[in-house]
Structures are given as C-alpha cells and as structure tokens.
Amino acid sequence: MRSSVPSLVLLFLCFAHGTADPAHDDPCRPRSCHHGPDVQFPFLLERSGQPDGCGYSRDFHLSCDRRDTLLSLPETPRPLLVTDIDYKNRSISVRDREGCIPLLLANLNHSIFSYKMSPRSPYSSYPPYNYTLFQCPLGGRSDSGMTRLGCVSTSEYDVFAVESNSYVGDLPLVSCMRNGSIDLLPTTIGDIMRDVNLVWDKPDCGCTKGKLCRRKGNGTHCIDPPRGHEERTKLEIAGGVVSFFLFLVGLSGLGYVINEKRRDKAFQLKIESFLQDYEALKPTRYSYNDIKRITNDFEEKLGQGAYGTVYKGKLSDEIFVAVKMLDNSFGNGEEFINEVSTMGRIHHVNVVRMVGFCADGFRRALVYEFLANESLEKFIFQGEDTLDPFLSWERLHDIALGVAKGIEYLHQGCDHKILHFDIKPHNILLDNNFNPKIADFGLAKLCSKEQSAVSMTAARGTMGYIAPEVFSRNFGSVSSKSDVYSFGMLLLEMVGGRKNVDVNAKNMSQMYFPQWVYNHLNKGEELEIRIREDGDHKIAKKLAIVGLWCIHWYPADRPPVKAVVQMLEGDECPVMPKNPFVSSSSGDAAIMRGRLWNTDLEVIAE
C-alpha cells in the first residue's frame, strides 16, 4: 500500500512534465555536477553547455572534477570543494580537502567573496580574529594558546598560530621564528581549517517572486520565466490534485499510510543516528547516485536474498563489488544496522569484506567485495551421484575448515562476540581460489565475550539450520552453540550433496539425511557417496562425524567451535558421538559431556 500512492502521484506528474517542459528550452536552467549543489545565476558551471551570459562574471565560474563541484579563486594554489550554495542569503559553503583554508584564502580580499562574519558581541571585540604565525623546532613545548597548523608543518619544523592580540610572554616561543600573519578570520582558526562559509555582495538582483535574474551589460536585470512555465506549473498542480483525489477515493486506509510514513521516518532517523555513532569505523558511505553508477543502473543481477537483491558493480577497471539493495518491506532497518555495525568490526580471511554502504533517504544498500564463484550452495546441491569437478573431497574439507575458522573468529576474535544465526550454504561465498567467506550478517547479534548465552524475543534464522533451543528454551539457552548447530547441518549437506530433509528421497530412511548418516556410521558402514579416490572415504567420514557432533539437540552436548576446528585440523578421524537425536541432557552422560566441552551458559538479556 505504501508504494502505490507515490507511484500514482509520480505517474500524473510525469504526464504533466511530458506535455509541457519548456525548462529545457532555457539555456540557463540549473545544472549540477554528479555530486554537488544546483548551479544557477550568478554562478555558471563550465563545460555544461551554459552560455557565458548565464553567469555574472568569471569569479562565479564553477567546474566539475569527477563528481565534485569546485570553486577556483584568484591567487589560490588549488580549488575549493563546494558543498552548498544559499542563493537567498548569497552564501557559498566550501571545503579544503587538505584542511588548510585560512592559509589558502590568505588573499581572499583579491576576490569578490569574503568571510561570513558572525554578529559581534557587545562584550567582545571579536570577530574578526587576527593571528601571527610562528615556525618552531620539532618536539618543543606547546600551549593551549598555540594552534598547530598541520597542513604547513613539515618533518623539520612545526607551524603554530597565535592570536595577535594575546600576551605571548608566557608562551614557549623563545626558539620560534615569526613566519607571517593571517588576519580578518570570522572565527577561531581551529574552527575553519577544513570548512567555511563565504558570502558575496554583488550581484543582488532583488527580483520579485517568479522573476529570474540575469546579467545585462555590467549589471543585472529581472526577466520573466521561459514561455510556457506557468502552463507547466498549472499542469503539475492539476496532476497533483487529480492524483490526490484518486488517492482519497481508491485508498480507504489513509490513516494506515500516514502511520507508515511516520514509522519510516523514525526508522530513517534511527539509521542516521546509528551511522553517526559508527562513523569511526570509516566504511565508505555512498549516495544512491553512486550506487547507480557503480552498478551501471543495476544492469547485472547476481541473485535474490531474503532481504534484498544483489547486483554486480564496478569501482574501477580492476575492482568489482557486489551491491545488495535492501528491500524496505522487511523489518525496520535492523538488518541494515546489524550488517554495518557487525561488518565494521570484522577483518578475517574467511569473512566477506564490506567496502561501503548507502543510506540515502529510504534507499539502503551494502557494498561487498565481489566473489566470482558466488555461493557454496551452487556447487553442492547437484544430486547424490555427482560432485562438481572443482569441489573434490579435499577441497570440501578445506572449505569446511575455513568456515569453522571464520565462525571461531566471530565468537572469539573480535572485541565483541558475534553470533551469526544464519550459517547455511547460501551465505558461504567462494573466491577465485574457492576460499570460503561467511556473508549476510542481517540476523547477527553482538554481545560481550564474557557472556555465553543470549535471550531472544523471536526465533531467527533459516528453517533446517536453526538450532532447537532457538525455538524452545526447553532444549537450553541460545548461545554460540546455536551457530555450531547450523554449521553441523551445513557440513552434512556438504557430505550428502543434498538438502538434509528430502521428502522425495528414494527410501523413507533417507528422508532425513543426518539420521541416515548416523545409522550407517554407527553400524560401521562406509558412506558410499561420490567416492572417487582412496582418501575420499576418510574425509567424507570425518566431515560427517564432526557434523553429527555439532547437531546434538542439546547445546551442552555440542562442542565449542574451537574444538570443531581442532577436530577438522586433526589427522585422525574423531570418535563417533552418541545418538544426537535423543535426550542425553539428564544424568551422568550429560554431566560428563558438559564438562568435556566446558559448557556453563549464562543467560544474557537481549
């Protein structure tokens, strides 16, 4: 219901634009770089097709550098990045990438721009602020009254700025040499090293509402909008009225729509707040336009997941990425926050690397490294009698070990314990060398390393891989052992080359594959599944036994992932476990196994 209303409005607005769009006949219509503010009179965007008459003078010429808007000022060694233009208040916000604006604009009086000064306080002589520069030896003492200018300091000396009207007798400047001055700053020098607002006095058109300002000779004049502008506006208004009328007639749930919009806004604010908190993680933040450019307008679809669609993208000729566009119909943004917060903490060879993210309005996307071989699921589910030529039993063993090490890192290698809750073949990606990488952290949870169990208000995961305790606390507490269970089910599917539950199995005994595997191994029989070489029996049996250890119904009976890694790394085949499908969590057997795995679960509030 949410999506139908804006679509209807958009349809009618597009009709209005299609019938009359004279703005395209105006050569001075606003233009913009790929990433930057709209550029219109008195400014002119070079190489955009605007004639010179669209700008007031050469001082107001802007240019594009890749996706940024740049302003070049007289006697300035490099251009400034334009972040915003306020035409009403005749103000332009600029930034210096090297963080050296006060020195860069030392000759600002030679241009038509000036600093935007704050109102002067009746109790102070500020602004403006005037500074004297000192060149001091490295390693010398400094003082709170001295501001170090890192952009001009070198490996041989430091440069400090000191307010010119301050008393310097108490400052450690004995070994320093005066090195110039910076005057007439709008605020303290430390506050404008990177960003500043500049203003211009002329031109000030003073046009009435609805008029457009243009250059005339050495001055300006006000003109009417291009012919047809009023008709186009009327059509747009008419389209909006008709759309709103149809909206009222066709949708009785208006109150629901309004509530949904309020909820969406709350979710958006929640995500923005989260992104500010995690800014220190420094993943690259992309705009939606960046995402469209990276994916070439979503040209190549790689797959469809539970929470969105994955597309192939390209950052450069050598660097490819996978872009997951999240579906707004799922959840309230928790999946997005989970992924970004979790992936920002992870650096491991067996965990997929997040390159960046997009949170542009209600559009959310995650950008990952591209893995050419896609998911493990594509290789293992090909029937019991076939095995992909690239996935020998030895390679399957290496993949299983890599996944186990990745889970071990999530549980013990980060600042916080990370529980994945969705380990399955679809979420195991393979690079060019078939090295496995765990992906999709939308259901992950973070908790302290000292805490061993977590309480949840609802089950999470994929059917067939969810541990019993996630459904019912009668089996025990939800903990890192829940990921171990999912890994065990993954191992058994790798062994069988099939889903663990198959209602179309040839024999009833094979319908639940883990039970069939246990029955065969418990009788001392070999697993005759895609065996081609002499050593295949041993690897298949080893993977199956480790998988059976991991899928015990009760978490206390499962090994921790560290023990799983040790079993997979060992040369010998692990011992056969007791029947994992019956209760052994009462009596001496359960006590002994709990001691074996050192299990003592403490419940943690979610």
Summary mean pLDDT of the chain: 80
Contact 576, 549 (CB under 8 A): no
Angle between helical axes of 393-408 and 561-569 (0-180°, round to 10)? 150
Fold of 265-370: Phosphorylase Kinase; domain 1 (3.30.200)
pLDDT band (50, 70, 90) for residue 20: very low
Q: Which two tokens stand for residue 478?
A: 């939800």
- Asked if residue 324 belongs to a known ligand binding site, the reply is yes
Beta-carbon contacts of 25 under 8 Å, excluding residues fewer than 6 positions away, are 226, 228
Q: Which two tokens stand for residue 446?
A: 């973070």
Query: Which pLDDT tens digit goes with each residue over 34-63?
Result: 888 999 989 999 988 888 888 888 889 999
- Which pLDDT does position 92 carry in this prediction? 94
Question: Which residue reads 């302290």 in tokens?
Answer: 448
Question: Which residue reads 């994929």 in tokens?
Answer: 462
Catalytic residue among 422, 440, 483, 536: 422
CA distances, 455 to each of 284, 337, 447, 551 (Å): 33, 19, 11, 20
Res. 330: pLDDT tops 70: no
- Quote the pTM value: 0.52
Rounded Cα gap, residues 343 and 334, in angstroms: 14
Burial class (CB in 10 A: 0-12, 13-18, 19+), 24: exposed
Query: Which pLDDT tens digit goes with each residue over 122-163?
Result: 544 567 888 999 999 988 888 888 998 988 889 889 999 998
Q: If DSSP codes are grouped into helix, strand and coil, which group holds residue 322?
A: strand
Domain coordinates of the chain in residue numbers?
27-116+197-207, 129-185, 265-370, 375-606
Is 422 a catalytic site residue?
Answer: yes
Rounded Cα gap, residues 28 and 364, in angstroms: 34
pLDDT band (50, 70, 90) for residue 389: low
Q: Is the model more confident about 457 or about 74? A: 74
Q: Strand runs (DSSP E) across 138-244, as ranges?
A: 147-148, 157-163, 177-185, 195-200, 212-216, 219-223
pLDDT band (50, 70, 90) for residue 390: low
Fold of 375-606: Transferase(Phosphotransferase); domain 1 (1.10.510)
